[in-house]
Structure 1
Amino acid sequence: MKKFFTTLRNIFSIEELRDRIFYTLGFLAVFRLGSFIVLPGVDPSKLTGESGGLLDFLNIFLGGAFNRASIFALGIMPYISASIVVQLMGMAVPYFQRLQKEGESGRKKINQITRVLTILITLAQGSGYLATTVPNEAIGIDQRLFYISSMVILTAGTVFCMWIGEKITEKGIGNGISMLIMIGIISGFPTAIYQEFTTRGGSLLLVVEIIALFFVVMGVVLLTTAVRKIPVQYARQVVGAGGKKKMLKTGQRSYIPLKVNAANVMPIIFAQSLMFLPSLIANIWADESNAAGWVAQNFSDFTSLAYNVTFGLLILLFTYFYTAITINPDQMADDLKRNNAFVPGVKPGEATSNFISVILDRITLPSALFLAIVAVLPAIAHLFGVSMTFSRFYGGTSLIIMVGVILDTLQQIESYLLMQHYEGMMKSGNIKGRQNVAMA
């Protein structure tokens, strides 16, 4: 405990780090305040507060702003969607591939395209949101005026959230966009644990649930930080020129850190977005077919066996798919060859590419299985009697995002401490597994 308070004192003794922390906290406070400001013309008392399905999934990320018809009701999610689209286009469209190779100028163009696409997605999602989430009886002004003004406000709210995220990244601590998502998720934790405490009455079961949650979080931390290091040897270089005696410079040893969970949280997000289609489609024929009724019933219940088996299989498939499009063994082998580097015992070129591919396949399987287990843990926890609100923190997308963002932020704080010659937050002087590992 003494070391903890010493570390806190060291953190706030560094002026730049202290300013960045307060800057981040200030913007996060503005973001949370905006999530409680209701759209003009809406009567909050007449909002149902029920969304269900994918909408309920989005409401978790937005800290309840979605169901409150807030000016930040769409939050940063349109920007996330636009970023994913641009990222996928960068893997398939030659124009975006050229932009990625142009350095800083190309990055600025990609950011500009992402922002324009964010506005277009916000307009599309905003119209659907107003039509499906805000009931007519909750609108207290002319509906035409309400829809026009609300579309402008929702778009401005998303752009403002995007600006906040960029400012946190630039002048604060951590990745701004990820911080906004995390603060939305974690804002529901105090309410969830209070409701669970009220339900359990402070019994031993609550203690067991907290202990189980602790071990689940530790497992996700291990998954997030785990890397497979591939040793790399740089070829010896000849130094000296002209008539001078040439000397051989010993090649350096290094390694390629392959993240065990290279796909990060994307497989769960992709699988989650598809899991609402079976029940949606089956509801059309539910009255005419027993099979359609069975599908509609089972895929509307996130604790059913059919739902979780299908969910787990989709995560396995998407983990391999996203890892394959994210990591290119051929390009890695070419980069090693171009830099006069090689994997000891493996020939450069195609043999190196095959070697990396085999390692990637071996580490992707346990990663995919662990992701699938983490994704279905909330359903398992709910079956064991944990409330639905509290069970969501036992796994799934929200837990992986929170762990990843917190570790990334701690790494940045660690770097500031070490630069000022203070002892790091861990005895080893760094947060294990986070060095040289990029967040997805």
Structure 2
Amino acid sequence: MLDTVRRAFRIEEIRKKIFYTFLMLIVVRFGSQLPAPGVDPTFIQNFFANQTGDAFNFFDAFTGGSFTQMSVFALSITPYITSSIIMQLLTIAIPKLEDMQKEGADGRKKIAAITRYVTVVLALIESTAMAVGFGRQGLLVEFNFVNAAIVVCTLTAGSAFLMWIGERITEKGVGNGISIVLLINILSRVPQDLVQLYTQFISGKTLAKGILAAVIILLVLLAVVVFVIILQDGERRIAVQYSQKVQGRKTYGGQSSHIPLKVNTAGVIPIIFASSLMQTPIVIATFLGKGDGTGIGSQILRALNSNNWCDPDNLIYSIGLIFYIILTIFFAYFYTSITFNPLEIANNMKKSGGFVPGIRPGKPTVEYFQKILNYIIFIGACGLIIVQVIPFFFNGVFGANVSFGGTSLIIIVGVVLETIKQIESQMLVRNYTGFLNNKGNSMKNSFLGY
């Protein structure tokens, strides 16, 4: 990876893209520190300090601390992420969108434009809910229609501007713009979490205990990162053989290939879906000022709160963890089923004269793909659960509450690996271009007698 970065800086074109990306990320972090007009910055900080749930902490980790400071980028790119997920689901449910996606580049541009409009609508709804819900509790210095409207417009514009920055990074930078913006937000919280771990487990301890705690923390983080890398890169390759076709004096086909099926087919989507569904009742109860009592409703909310899981003194609340695991597995199967169609792949193979060795084309191939896919999805979901449960365990047993949980680590590793691959592909394309240009120049020089 370091060798790739080193070689990338030697190429002027890619070096400019890296610097452009870096400048855009500086703008992102600057906007994350710029407070929204008419907002009391101490309110939201005190609100977080009094919260025992992690619903807003999960959101704050994705916004890079912008939410706790209620900056102009308080919503970050979460509306765009939600909009993209909604559009993926609607593409399967609405035939017109599905046909649009099959149109190629033009169809994808139309879907991207619709995604932008949905993003603005979602940002408008979320900012209105925050301005009204928190504004009545003291977020605004003076709660009235004008101040609330200013906050709504500011937060909506901030989210739209971040979406624009992400698209510019994709177009003029190193690629994966939205993912890189999300990555820098998550990474911005890591130093604060490391300081918290140092203060909690190392500072004030004897030298031996401090070193032991530091080594354990580093080993756990390293083990989780390595496991995530293996999970993200793991794939099952299904061999495919193409039959030979003779047309005139030429023979077509006959070569062997494979279909790669990633172990983590759904990525981090199942965790985001499961976490969002679990935290929605907590967010609603917080806005309504409920959930602090001793009734059955309050007990259910505590079970949904991941801060109460794996606590030896209150194991009953770990029932929520079991429910969370079930939801993660369900969404892994659900999301993969709407994004990966074995029937379509089998039909395309049949049209191209391809077949899986030992499996008859048609329905047997579809059943074979489905069987392999079900097996892979379960393994990937179990991997996601392991990565996510490790932070819950250390939080419940040792009180190590940090923002970079399993979801954050999967995003960090996935985005870094994908960005490195993007840079490598751009370097490869440039090398091919340079080779063709040199070859053309050599032919021209030979023709001119040089």
TM-score, normalising length: structure 1: 0.87
1:217 aligned onto 2:225: yes
Residues 105/8 of structure 1: CA separation in 2 closer, same or farther (3 Å cut): closer
Match of 1:298 in 2: 303
**Is contact 1:334–1:349 with CA below 8 Å preserved after alignment?**
yes
Report the 3-state secondary structure (helix = DSSP H, G, I; strand = E; otherwise coil) of the residue aligned with 1:180: helix
Aligned 8 A contact 2:270 2:335 in 1: yes
The more displaced of 248-257 and 160-169 is: 248-257
Over 3 Å counting, the alpha-carbon distance change for 1:13 and 1:293 in structure 2 is closer
Q: Retained in 1: the 8 A contact 2:140–2:148? A: no
C-alpha displacement at 1:335, in angstroms? 0.7
The change in CA–CA distance for 1:386 and 1:302 in structure 2 (over 3 A counts) is closer
- How far did residue 55 of structure 1 move? 2.4
Segments of 5+ residues of structure 1 without an aligned counterpart are: 241-245, 423-440
Calculate percent identity across the aligned residue pairs. 40
* Distance of aligned partners of 1:173 and 1:7 in 2 relative to their CA distance in 1, 3 Å threshold: closer
| Aligned residue type for 2:275 | Q
Of 245, 255, 258, which aligns to 1:255? 258
Quote the Cα distance in structure 2 between the aligned partners of 1:287 and 1:40.
32
Q: Which residue of 1 aligns with 2:425?
A: 415
* Deviations, residues 280-314 of structure 1 (Å, cap 9, x unaligned): 78999979985434323332353421121111111
Equivalent runs, 1:10-409 vs 2, <5 Å? 10-47=7-44, 48=46, 50=48, 52-134=53-135, 137-141=138-142, 143-199=144-200, 200-201=202-203, 202-240=210-248, 246-249=249-252, 251-277=254-280, 290-304=295-309, 305-385=318-398, 387-389=400-402, 392-393=403-404, 395-409=405-419
2:291–2:297 contact (8 Å) kept in structure 1: yes
Decide which moves more: 192-201 or 345-354. Answer: 192-201
For 1:429, the equivalent position in structure 2 comes to none
Amino acid at match of 2:8: I
Answer whether contact 2:54 2:307 (CA < 8 A) is retained: no
- CA shift at 1:132, angstroms? 3.0
Describe the SS at the equivalent of 1:233: strand
Task: Report the structure, 1 or 2, having the larger helix content.
Answer: 2
Aligned mates of 2:40, 2:322 — CA distance in 1: 41
One-letter amino acid matched to 2:70: A
Cα distance between partner residues in 2 of 1:164 and 1:288: 44
Query: Is the Cα contact below 8 Å between 1:174 and 1:405 reproduced in 2?
Result: no
Q: Post-superposition shift, 1:352?
A: 0.9
TM-superposed CA distance for 1:86, in Å, is 1.0
Does 368-377 or 292-301 show the bigger shift? 292-301
After superposition, the Cα gap between the structure-2 partners of 1:414 and 1:288, relative to the gap in structure 1 and judged at 3 Å, is closer
Are the structure 2 counterparts of residues 360 and 207 from structure 1 closer, same or farther at C-alpha, using a change threshold of 3 Å?
Answer: same
Deviates more, 1:130-139 or 1:266-275: 130-139
Question: Contact conserved, 2:306 with 2:392, CA < 8 A, in 1?
Answer: no
Output the aligned Cα RMSD. Answer: 2.5
Structure 1 runs (4+) greater than 6 angstroms displaced: 280-289
Query: TM-score scaled by structure 2?
Result: 0.85
Q: What amino acid sits opposite 2:348 in the alignment?
A: D
Q: Contact 1:312–1:376 (CA<8 Å) still a contact in 2?
A: no
Distance 1:352 1:104, change over 3 A: same
Q: Summarize the Cα distance change of 1:288–1:12 in structure 2 as closer, same or farther, 3 Å threshold.
A: closer
Match of 1:275, SS? helix
In structure 2, do the counterparts of structure 1 residues 138 and 272 end up closer, same or farther at CA, with 3 Å as the change threshold?
Answer: closer
Note if contact 2:264-2:380 (Cα within 8 Å) is conserved in structure 1. yes
